[in-house]
Every structure is written in structure tokens, then in C-alpha cells.
Amino acid sequence: MSSVNIGVLISGGGSNLQAVIDDINAGVINGKIQVVISNKKDAYGLVRAKNHGIDAIYVDKRKFENNNDFNREIIKILEEKNVDLVILAGYLKILSEEFVKKYQSRIINIHPSLIPSFCGMGYYGRKVHEKVLEYGVKITGATVHFVDEGADTGSIILQEAVIVDDNETVDTLQKKVLEIEHKILPKAVQLYCDDKLEIKGRKVHVRN
């Protein structure tokens, strides 16, 4: 089976990006990251990419008249790199409808909660964990899902839970969940690259 060309979109430190890079380098994932794109100039994920010889590109939204034009520039870069799979690894911008349609069922996102809880517009980063603690739930976790036109509404690929302790803080909870993210995002990418994922309605089945 031929290697899958991957493009990764980031906005921050890129620890999930690093987890994917590590599994590719270990031969676990049958794919190659062709480009890492960030909407933040100082995103450390760009440094991670460069350290591994991966093209790292900053796209400045302020140079575009609207969000659609901004997204078209990213699409253009992905097309130039012949990207088959797009990974959102801590990417904090909403993709345009045009973007989602072009890469239908080929965009994977990681979210730091058990969707459909604590997700959707406004739920990202530390805010998710703040809301988890505020609500008082006993279990949270992380979700990898395909991206559709909604916010965190696409078909779920993998989930894993963590216990919320009584003395939990945003920082300790974020660390717990991030460890899960580093596990299930590369696993979902591996399954995709091995052609093991099948979407039936809202459900994603893993083929043997």
C-alpha cells in the first residue's frame, strides 16, 4: 500500500503533531507529512516541523479579505503538496465549507473532551477543561473525529476516557487529557493510512 501524503494544520505548540511524527518515524504510520501550516507565526509546531525536515508554512489571515480567501490559500498549499489527509492538531480556526467539501472524510480533528460533551463553538484549549471542572463531571477524555461542516459534529473515530479527580485543576486535567490525545490521534491516523476506517451513517467502523 502506498504511503499517504499528510498535511497538518496547527495553531500552537504542536505536541500532537510530534506524536504523529514520532509514529511515522517509528514505521507505525504508513504516511508522510508533506507540510505543516500554522495561522500563528510563533507557533512552536512550526519549529518541530523544521527540526524534522518538514516544510513549515505560516499563513497570515490578515493578508486576506475574508475567511474563504484565507482557506483557499491553505487549500492551494495542500494541493501543491498532493496532500491526501488533513490533520487538525490544535488548529483553532474554523474551516470554510469549501475546504470541508474538498476534503470530505479526509480531515481528522482531535478534541479534548468526550464529544458530544463540552464541544462546539467556543470550546477549545483550556476552556474545555474549565467547563468540565465547573460542571462537575467525573469522567472526561479526548475524541478523534472526522470533520464536517459543523463544529465538532463529525463522525467519531476513537475516544478514550480519564477520571476527573476531586482535587483536579485545569492544568492537571489538561495534562491527563493531552496524554490520551498523544495516544489516540496517531492511532486514528494509522488506521486511516492503513485503509481500516469505514463510515456508515454517523458511525465509523474499524475494519480488521
First-to-last C-alpha distance (Å) of the chain: 16
| Spatial separation of the C-alpha atoms in residues 32 and 128, rounded to whole Å | 31
Active-site residue, 111 included: yes
Residues 6+ apart with CB under 8 A from 22: 186
Phi, psi angle pair for 203, to nearest 5°: -95, 145
List the catalytic residue out of 111, 129, 145, 182: 111
Q: Which helix (H) or strand (E) holds 37?
A: strand 31-38
Residues 6+ apart with CB under 8 A from 108: 85, 86, 87, 88, 144, 145, 146, 147, 157, 185, 188, 189, 192
| Spatial separation of the C-alpha atoms in residues 33 and 46, rounded to whole Å | 13
| Spatial separation of the C-alpha atoms in residues 52 and 132, rounded to whole Å | 35
Catalytic residues: 111
